[in-house]
Structure formats: C-alpha cells, structure tokens
Amino acid sequence: MGKPSEQRKQEIIDATLDLAASLGVKKVTTQAIADHVGIAQPTVFRHFKTRDAIFVAAISSIGEGLFRNLAAFFSGTGPADERLHQLVRAQLRFISQNKGLPRLLFSDRLHLESPLLKQAVQKIMNGYTQQVSRMIREGQAAGLMRANLDAEECACLVAALIQGLVMRWSIFDFDFDLAAEAEPLWGFIAAALLVDGEGAVL
C-alpha cells in the first residue's frame, strides 16, 4: 500500500515548495514533483486530484508555518512597538528561509489562473493585516504610536513594505540578505508610526 497518504501528501507539498524556490513555479511539473519525491508521476494524482490542488495545499502549508512563527508577537504581552519590531524581524527571517513563498506569490498561476489559490493568499493577507492593525491600535492606546493614524491603513502599508521588499529580493535573484533588511525597514516604520519616530536612525 506504500506510505500512508498524509505523509506522502506532505512530501509532495515539500517537494513543490523546494522546486518552486529553485526552479520557479512554471517548471514545477507533476513529473518534476514525482521525481523529487521518488515516485511515479501518476502516483501524484493518487494524493491530489489536480495540480492546482497541490499549489493550494502548498500555500496553505506555508501560510500556517508563517503564522505559527509570528503568533507569539501578535499576541505577546510586551509593548506593541517592540512586538511589531520583532514581528518584522521574524517575518523577514522566515521568508528568507522559505523562498518558495515569494515564488508562489509572484506567479501568474496565482494571479489569474487559479481563483482557489488566490483566495488562499487573500485569506492569509487579510489575517495578517488584521493582526497588525490590532497591534497598532494597542500601540495607540498605550500612547506609543501616533493617535491620528488610521490603524488599518497603516497595517496595509506595513504589509506592502514587506511585500515590496520581498519582491525586490526575488527580482534581484535573492542576492541580498533579506533578514538584514529588517533593521532599516523597522527604522522607516518606526519613523512613520511612533510618537517619537522623528528621532529614528535609518
């Protein structure tokens, strides 16, 4: 009967993310996945009904991984500004170790071909901005962040900053240290959000 289904599924997902990182989404054919896992190509379809379903599962898997990594900062107990700082750092670190994420994020498979895949990403992004805007409101309530800011709008822009940075990283072939960008990035965000932000050093 071969390996149990759940284990194989995860192997297929991992192979997909590995291959996406190194080859790009387009080249992640079901044959390539099968070779990487070490099974025959039709066997892939024993575990996923369609190729798209594999990508949806991969996005969900990596999304869950990201949230598991960031959950501590979303709901921690320290001051909101420090938690946001740590969040940015942890997020860039996580992404720099999961290059499959930007590959999937910037694929046209996501952008028009697969509504399901897009929905999965929209869900992740909405969850993220919701958590960040909550943190910003906490920071405002504590007098740490400027009260005249629209928390939700700011959360979107913080997300945009990170995504834009990741996109630059992807376009430039992952050839700079993404995690190292956390500090100047935080300098920028702090300057924009914090009450005493004008003193930030970038």
Residues at the contact surface with its own copies, assessed by CB under 8 A: 23-27, 103, 105-113, 118, 121-122, 125, 146, 148-150, 153-154, 156-157, 159-165, 167-168, 170-173, 184-185, 188-189, 191-193, 195, 197-198, 200-202
- Per-residue binding string, DNA, 2-41, x by CB under 7 A, is xxxx--x-----------------xx-xxx--x----xxx
**Residue 83 beta carbon to its own copies: minimum distance, rounded to whole angstroms:** 20
Nearer to DNA (CB atom), residue 68 or residue 111: 111
Task: Let me know how long the chain is.
Answer: 202
Task: Decide: residue 160, CB within 10 A, 0-12 exposed, 13-18 middle, 19+ buried.
Answer: exposed
- Give alpha helix (H) positions in 75-172: 80-96, 100-105, 108, 115-141, 151-171
Rounded-to-integer distance, Cα 117 and Cα 179, Å: 27
Least distance (Å) between residue 144 CB and DNA: 49
CA angle 75, 124, 63 (to 5 degrees): 85
Cβ–Cβ < 8 Å for 103, 21: yes
Between the two ends of the chain, the Cα-to-Cα distance in Å is 58
Closest distance to DNA from the beta carbon of 134 (Å): 39
125: partner contacted, choices DNA, its own copies, none (Cβ within 5-8 A by kind): its own copies
Residue type, 165: L
Q: Would you give the binding string for DNA spanning residues 47-86, x where CB under 7 A is met?
A: x-xxxx----------------------------------
Residues in contact with DNA by the rule CB under 7 A? 1-5, 8, 26-27, 29-31, 34, 39-43, 45-47, 49-52
